[in-house]
A and B are shown apart, each in its own frame.
Chain A
Amino acid sequence: MVEKQENNVWDNVDWITIGLYLAMMLIGWINIYAAVYNEEHKSIFDMTQRYGKQLMWIGAAIFIAVLMINTDSKFFVTFAFPIYIALIFVLLVVLLVGSEIKGARSWIQLGNFSIQPSEFMKMATSLALARYISSYDFKMHDYKSLLSLAAIIGIPVGLIFLQNDTGSAIVFGIFILVLYREGLNGLVLFFSFLISVVFILTMLFDPLITILILSIAALVINYLLKKKLQRTLIGGATFFGIFGVLWGLNYILGGSVSPIFFILIAAILTSAMFFTWAMVLRKHSLAILIGIYLGSVLFSVSVDYVFDNIMEQHQRDRINELLGIHSDVLGTGYNVNQSKIAIGSGGLFGKGFLQGTQTKFDFVPEQDTDFIFCTVGEEWGFLGSTVVIGLFMALLMRIIFLAERSRSRFSRVYGYSVACIIFFHFAVNIGMTIGLAPVVGIPLPFFSYGGSSLWSFTFLLFIFVRLDASRFEQLSF
Chain B
Amino acid sequence: MDTFSKRRLIILGIFLGIGAIFIIRLFTLQITSKTYKQFATRNVLRKITVYPARGFIYDRNNNLMVYNKAAYDLMIIPREVKSFDTTELCNIIQLDRIELREAIRKARAYSTYKPSIVVTQISPDIYAPLQEKLYKYPGFFVQYRTLRDYPNKSAAHVLGYVGEVNQKTLEADKYYRPGDYIGVTGLEKAYEQDLRGIKGVQKSMVDVHNRIKGKYNEGKEDTTAVLGNNLITGLDAKLEAYAELLMTNKRGAVVAIEPKTGEIILMVSAPSYDPNLMVGRQRSKNYVVLDRDSINKPMMNRAIIGRYPPGSTFKLANALIGLEEHAITPLDRFSCSGKGSKPISCTHSHVSPLAVREGIRESCNSFFWNNFRLIMNRKGNTADSFQAWHDYIVSFGFGTKLSPELSSEVKGSVPEVSLYDKWYGAKHWNAYSIRSLAIGQGEIEATPLQMANLCAMIANRGYYIMPHIVRAIQTPNREVQTLDYDKKTINVSPENFAIVIGGMQAVVEETKLQFSVKQDKYIVCGKTGTVQNPHGADHSAFVGFAPKDDPKIAIVVFIENAGFGATYAAPIAGLLMEKYLNDSISPKHKDIEQKLIDTNLLDVKEVKKTL
Chain A residues within 8 Å of B, Cβ to Cβ: 38-40, 177, 180-183, 330-331, 334, 338, 340-348, 357-358, 360-363, 377, 381-382, 385-386, 389-390, 392-393, 396-397, 400, 404, 416, 419-420, 423, 426-427, 430-431, 434-436
Contact = CB atoms under 8 A, between A and B. Distances in A.
A342 B19 contact: no
Contacts of B18: 423, 426-427, 431
B423 interface: no
B30 A436 contact: no
Contact of A334 (B27, B113, B217): B217
Contact of B40 (A39, A342, A396): A342
A181 B22 CA distance: 24
A180 B7 contact: yes
Given A341-B39, A358-B40, A183 B30 contact: no
Contact of A436 (B25, B27, B111): B25
A328 B30 CA distance: 22
A393 B36 contact: no
Nearest to A341: B39
A336 to B, nearest CB: 12
A393 B16 contact: yes
Interface in B29-51: 29-31, 33, 35-37, 39-41, 43-45
Given A343-B26, A377-B30, A400 B8 contact: yes
B45 A436 contact: no
Contacts of A390: 19
Interface of B: 3-5, 7-8, 10-12, 14-16, 18-19, 21-23, 25-27, 29-31, 33, 35-37, 39-41, 43-45, 111-113, 217-218
Contacts of A182: 4
Contacts of A363: 43, 45
A183 B113 CA distance: 58
Contacts of A342: 40
Rank and list the top 5 A-B pairs by shortest CB-CB distance, nearest first.
Answer: A344-B36, A345-B40, A382-B30, A361-B45, A341-B39
B11 A180 contact: yes
Contact of B43 (A39, A341, A348, A430): A341
Contacts of B43: 338, 341, 357-358, 361, 363
Contacts of B36: 340-341, 343-345
Nearest to B44: A361
Given A389-B23, A400-B8, A343 B15 contact: no
Given A330-B218, A344-B40, A363-B43, A423 B4 contact: no
Given A340-B36, A400-B12, A423-B14, 20 more contacts: A39-B113, A177-B11, A177-B14, A180-B7, A340-B29, A341-B40, A344-B29, A345-B39, A345-B40, A357-B40, A358-B40, A361-B43, A377-B30, A382-B27, A385-B23, A389-B23, A397-B16, A426-B18, A427-B18, A435-B25
A28 B17 CA distance: 24
B22 A343 contact: no
Nearest to A183: B4
A357 B80 CA distance: 11
Contact of B26 (A341, A360, A385, A392): A385
Contacts of B5: 404
21 contacts: A39-B112, A39-B113, A181-B4, A330-B218, A331-B218, A340-B29, A341-B36, A341-B40, A343-B36, A344-B35, A344-B39, A344-B40, A358-B40, A385-B23, A389-B19, A389-B22, A397-B15, A404-B5, A423-B15, A431-B18, A434-B25
